[in-house]
Each structure stands twice: as C-alpha cells, then as structure tokens.
Amino acid sequence: MKKQKLKSRTEAIVVTVAVIAVIALANYLSNRFFYRIDLTENRQFTVSDATKRVLRNLDDIVVIKAFFSKDLPPETHITVNTVRDLLAEYRNIAGGRLRVTWEDPAGNEEAINLARTLGVPEITLQTVKRDKVEAMRGYMGIGIMYADKSESIPVVQNLANLEYDLTQAIMKVKRSSIPKIGVLKSQSADFIPPEILGRMNMTEETTEKRFTPIFETLRHDYEVVAVDVSEGTAIDREIRTLIIPGGERFNARTLFEIDQYFMNGGNLIVMANGVNVTFHSGVRGTVQETGMLDLLEHYGARVERNLIMDASCGMVQIPRNVGFFTINERFPYPFFVRIFEGGFASDNPAVSSQSELMLAWPSSITLVPDTLGLHQNVTASTLFTSSVQSWEVTANADLNPQQEYHIPSEDRMRQHILGLYLSGNFGSYFDGKPIPSVRERSPEDEDDEEEELTGLSQINLHGNDRDRSVTPSNTGGHLVVIGDANFITAQNATRPNVTFMLNLVDWLSLDNNLIAIRSRVLRDKTINPNILEEGSSKPNMIRFINLLLMPVIVAAIGLFISLRRRESAPAATAAVPTADNNSASTADNKENSDNG
C-alpha cells in the first residue's frame, strides 16, 4: 500500500515538473520566435508584405525604445498590448537587426531626458477612480534610432495607422540621402521680363512666397526646390514628387515637361481649379479652360468647371463700422468647404488619420471611363469628399459672403469627390505628337503685350530638343488630383491643411512600400441604417437569430446530452445488482461447501 502511494506521488511530481518545463519552454520559444495566427477579417493584425520587405532589408541595427508608463489608465491597455505585439512581430521579422526596449520614465531622469531628446513628451491622461475623474501624467510614445539619426511617434493614438507610422519612421532614419521634392513655378507672370513687369505696374509674386507653408514644412524632411521649365529643360528625375499648384497659364511645353516627368517615373500632386476666383472688382469666378485640365482628363480625372458649396463650411470675417469702431463679424461661407473625419477614405493611410481639411472655392472631380480605358491597369480611389449636404453651382454664382444663400432641395445634395488618387500604367498625352516648342503660347496667353515681348524672340525656341524623344508610357505611376489650387497658399494654409500635404508627400515620396501599407481600419458592423428606414425585415431577422435562435440551439444541445445520459443510467444500474447477485451466489455456494 505504501509503495502504491509513493509511486502515485512520484508520478504526480514528475507530471507537474514536466508541465512546468513545457510551459517554460513554450514561453521561451514564443519570445524567441514570435508567431501568431490572425483570424480577423481583412487580416487586421498581420504585418503587410511591404513592412516585411523594409525590415528584412535592414543592413544594420535599428533601436526602438517604447516609452510607456506602467500605471496607465485601463482604457489604454489595448493600445499598450497592440504596440507590444506589433513590436514583437517587427523584431521577429527583422531577425536581430531590430532591438526593442521598453522604458518607464517615471522616476528615471536618464529615461526622461532620452524621451525628451527623441521627441516623446509627457502627456496628461484622464482616468476614473472611485467614481471620480482624475488627471495623471504619463508617456505613450515610441522613439526610433539609427546611428546619429532619430525619429519618433510622440503619442500612440491611432492604432489604425500604427504600422504605417512605425515603418515610415524606420525608413526615415535608414535613408542614406534626403529625397528631393519639387514645386512647379507658377507661370502667371514668369514669362514677362522684370522691366516689362515694372512698366505694367505688376509685382512679382514668387512661388516660394505664395506657397511658403509647403517650403517651410517639407524642408524639415526633404530637399525642396522650385522647378522652372520656362527654358524648356527637362524636370530633374531625382525629384520624387512634383507638386503642381494651379496651372491656369501653363503652355504646351510646360505640359510636355510635366507629362514626360510623369512618364519617367515621377509622382504628381496636382492642385487644380475648374473655376478661377478673382478679387479685382468684387469676388468673381471665371471658368478655367486650360491645358492642365486637358492633361488631367487624359489621365482619367476631370476637374469640373463648377464650385462646390457645403453646409459643413468655414467662417469668414468681414469688417463692419459700429460708430467710431470697426469690428470683424464672422459669417458662415459655404464656398469654404470643411471636410471632417467621415469625409476621408478610411482605407488610405495618407488620409485615414486626417481629422479636418479646409478647401476654398473647390471644384468637384469625376472619373472619365473613356480615357481610363486607354491606359493599362489604372485604378482610382477617392481620398476625400464633401459632406452629403453639399451641392454644385456654376462659375457665375454670387460669391459675396454677405448674402442669404438659397439652400437647394435634398435631391440636389450629394457628396462630391474633391480629392482623387490614380495609380497604374499611364499613356503619354504627347505620344505620337511632336515636341512643343519652348515659346509656343497657349490661347489664354494671347494679350495686348505681344509687341513688348518681342525681345524674347532671341531665346532658343527649341531648347535641347535634338536629343529628346517622347516617352510613350510609364509603369506604376501615382497621381493625386485635388480640386483646389489655393488651400496650401500662405493665406489659406491652416494647420490641418499643412498636415495633410505633409502626409501626402510622405506617402508618395519616401518609398513605394509606404503606398502598399494599408490602414488597419476596424470595420463598422452595425446594421445599415438605410435598411431600417426602408422597413426591411433583414435587421429583425438578424436580431432574432442572435438573441433567440442561438440560445435555443445551445439549450437543445444541452437537453440532448442530458437525455443521452439518462438513457445510459438504467443500464449501468442494472449491471450492479447482477454483479452483486453473482457475488452473493458465489458466497452462498462457498458457505454450503464448507458446511458440507
């Protein structure tokens, strides 16, 4: 008996030790070789192939420091866990070339200084304790370091864009050279010599002055240059992305240089108006008929000759005399379209985290299926739209902000595309056409100053065209069209507008890998409200299945198992007396035998 107990205890100890050893080994291997199975729709928790390429191509060690306080509010735990899992997967994919450490700066002066140096600030968080809202200080940021370079995600807030932000930061610290961004010079007066400008009482508004926010913001991360093609020179192919603001006076040669830059692998961001708003004699709008709009239409995006008005709009300040004082009154102005979070494409990382954008006198954009069919594998996706309470008006509409606006009926209101992204293999606008001469002038440039400009005839009209030919198409081109040429000027560049432009340039310019990284958006699983309004029975059926049918199925399964057990119980009970009777009969026989 004692041997049996000892054997049982030994077996229990051996099993316990074996289980502990297996658990310890599993923990070690899981930390050493991170892997998880993603069963979510659209693989929400799976690192994209583009990020894997970036991490596997690391040629030296990149250090990531996650600055997260230990005592964060409970509502932030999902953020911490998501960051921890993602960094673990990054480290596993990089194979030793990515080092991840976690720091709690609380009470650690060295960690606080390091976080401050990397650009990770201490933030104020709100939490509920004992039915009271309390404020606490903490850290929720990430620093990325390589050699003497560093980048940061100051506060991890948008988990949908976490992979994009993290991969972008790694690419920034790893780049060996600073990418070049170009801004095409406006040709509103560039072709007129300075002495003639003086005689015409015109002042030169340089592209750098007009678009100061672009140059100042982008120069933190890029080399930004003003591109001048007035002499018929090709656009530098080292420029990753070319920003084209406006283009109302671009001649055929300028369009040719833009087209050939695009055909040779450059990315384009075109800001174009279908209606030009001027202030010479009040606020007026004139329809644009320019070659730039024809070029965009050839690529598949038509900028309509209209203006969009929106109930979701900005305000304008108008001075008004009150006695001896002048005050500024604020009026809602539907021509200043405000786009909020719901108006941005949730599946595009360049705009999915954007919260607001302000456009002044924008024009809508429509796809042109006929011209899209001329290209190969060109796809189009909407970047942002106006609200459902927006409508279009013609160029001759009253633009005076001090007016009573006529609100149209609901059947005339709808969303309008104001930002469009096209990608694929585009064909050249000039394929099969001769190269335009340098000084070929578009019809809108014909004016009364021809005699004064005769001195320009000494300039070479053909540049260095002898060695040039038309590139007929590109491969994997990227084109962004925005129906507003003025939203990023010095007068209109709000902070959200500048942020939008910076994100857009980052997305297009750093690497094609960034374009391939999708935004991790959690889909809305609520029932379509339109179906409810139409009185459909589908929502009620779904509710019935979820609330009643599923519990009934579970209860039926339990009842079936219970009945099966009851059926087997009598058989087992009957077997017991049989054994007892046999035993009793055997005992009686033995007793009779002994008596005999």
Residues 27 and 38 occupy one common structural domain: no
Residues 106 and 200 occupy one common structural domain: no
Contact in structure between 484 and 360 (CB atoms under 8 Å): yes
* φ/ψ bin of 41: left (φ > 0), alpha (ψ from -120 to 50), beta (otherwise): beta
Residues 223 and 365 occupy one common structural domain: yes
* SS3 category, 433: coil
| Residue 317: band (very low, low, confident or very high) from pLDDT cuts 50, 70, 90 | confident
Residues 18 and 66 occupy one common structural domain: no
The domain boundary residue, chosen from 171, 191, 225:
171
Strand-pairing partners, residue 241, are 181, 267
Strand 477-482 and strand 417-425: the pairing is antiparallel
pLDDT at 11: 79
pLDDT digits (tens, 9 = 90+) for 110-119: 999 999 999 9
pLDDT at 383 over 60: yes
CA 509 to chain centre: 14
Angstrom distance (rounded) from CA 61 to CA 149: 12
Q: Which residue, among 495, 491, 420, has the nearest Cα to 270 in the 3D structure?
A: 420
For residue 194, give both structure tokens.
């300075």
- Mean pLDDT within 22-49: 69
Is residue 435 in some structural domain? yes
pLDDT at 461: 44
| Residue 450: band (very low, low, confident or very high) from pLDDT cuts 50, 70, 90 | very low
Q: How many CB atoms lie within 10 A of CB 98?
A: 19
Is residue 136 in some structural domain? yes
pLDDT at 458: 35
pLDDT at 197 over 70: no
Residues 313 and 409 occupy one common structural domain: yes
Residues 6 or more apart whose CB falls under 8 angstroms from that of 472 comprise 263, 427, 428, 431
- Mean pLDDT within 129-153: 87
pLDDT at 34: 55
Q: How many domains does the chain have?
A: 4
Q: How many CB atoms lie within 10 A of CB 85?
A: 13
Residues 442 and 537 occupy one common structural domain: no
Say which CATH number the domain at 140 has. 3.40.30.10
Question: Which domain covers residue 5, as residue numbers?
Answer: 1-31
Residues 18 and 113 occupy one common structural domain: no
Strand 284-287 and strand 313-322: the pairing is unpaired
Residues 6 or more apart whose CB falls under 8 angstroms from that of 445 comprise 191, 249, 251
pLDDT at 188: 47
Angle 266-269-272 (CA atoms, 0-180°, nearest 5)?
Answer: 135
pLDDT digits (tens, 9 = 90+) for 277-299: 877 667 778 888 889 999 999 99
| Residue 224: band (very low, low, confident or very high) from pLDDT cuts 50, 70, 90 | very high
Is residue 589 in some structural domain? no
Is residue 450 in some structural domain? yes
